[in-house]
Structure 1
Amino acid sequence: MSTSDFPADLLDAERDRQRAAAERAALGRTLPWSVEPLPGLSTPHVWMARERPESPGYTPEQRARMAELYEVLLDRSATVTGHPHWEQFSGPDLVKARMALKQAAAAAPSPEQASEA
């Protein structure tokens, strides 16, 4: 399936979902290991020893951005999964079509990217 096989609003929603998921994951990798401030952790006497430094927790701005991206992710996921386009598919064909949408959205430039080129 190509990008032309999907309605533009569905393709845009999937692109937004993928962007929000990637941005949230990237942000999460830069943040402290806990949302709330916590002391360091050391468990050397268990079968899988762990060491974690003290965590200052997230700043209010970091919390707000993570929450904002999560809301975008939930909204776009609901838009994609509940889109009327899927009514024409069932069973394995539905799975194949949804996977094709993910690949098409990842491969195709967004309208903003296309206009910049």
Structure 2
Amino acid sequence: MSENDTPPNDPYGFPDDLKQLQARLHQAHADYQTLCRTLPWSVEPLPGWPGTVHPHTGEVTGGREPSPGYTPEQAAEEKRLWDLVRELSIGVSTHPYWATPERGPELVKARMALKTHQDVLAAVTGLAEAA
């Protein structure tokens, strides 16, 4: 196989820097989602509201506890991670590689293939284990 041939399991021949960017984007998005699961439901302090009592069963549904809002540290970390996700998304989507595939269905297939590329997923696993 010559240097310019792509392996059969990599028909798109994604460059390493693009695969690394996509892996970092996956990891940053996962970190952002993990953080968001720990944050209060409201950025600003807000009162909660009572749920609705079902007239026959007495079960209470809906309602919210009061939100203390984000602490300055939580707000800063949320902003930092969201900015990182945005920056990496832009880096992936504007990478020079995307001028190669023909516009249309093939380009969409290539973009989707990058997200699940074995090297990208392996790098994400390695990033997660290193963290």
**TM-score category of the 2 structures, normalised to the smaller one:** 0.7 to 0.9
Contact 1:32 1:58 in 2 (8 A): yes
> What's the offset of the Cα at 1:22?
0.6
Listed as ranges, the gaps of 5+ residues in structure 2 are 1-8, 54-60
Name the structure 2 match of 1:82. Answer: 94
- Matched AA of 2:37: R
Matched, 1:22 2:30: yes
Matched, 1:108 2:122: yes
Q: CA–CA distance in 2 between the matches of 1:98 and 1:16? A: 15
Q: Which of the two has greater helix per residue?
A: 1
Contact 2:44 2:69 in 1 (8 A): yes
Listed as ranges, the gaps of 5+ residues in structure 1 are none
- Matched AA of 1:94: L
1:33–1:3 Cα change, 3 Å: farther
Name the structure 1 match of 2:57. Answer: none
1:62–1:102 Cα change, 3 Å: same
Name the structure 1 match of 2:78. Answer: 66
Identity of matched residues, %: 43
Comparing both chains, which one has the higher relative contact order based on Cα–Cα distances under 8 Å and sequence gaps of 6 or more?
Answer: 1
Q: CA RMSD in A?
A: 2.3
Matched, 1:40 2:48: yes
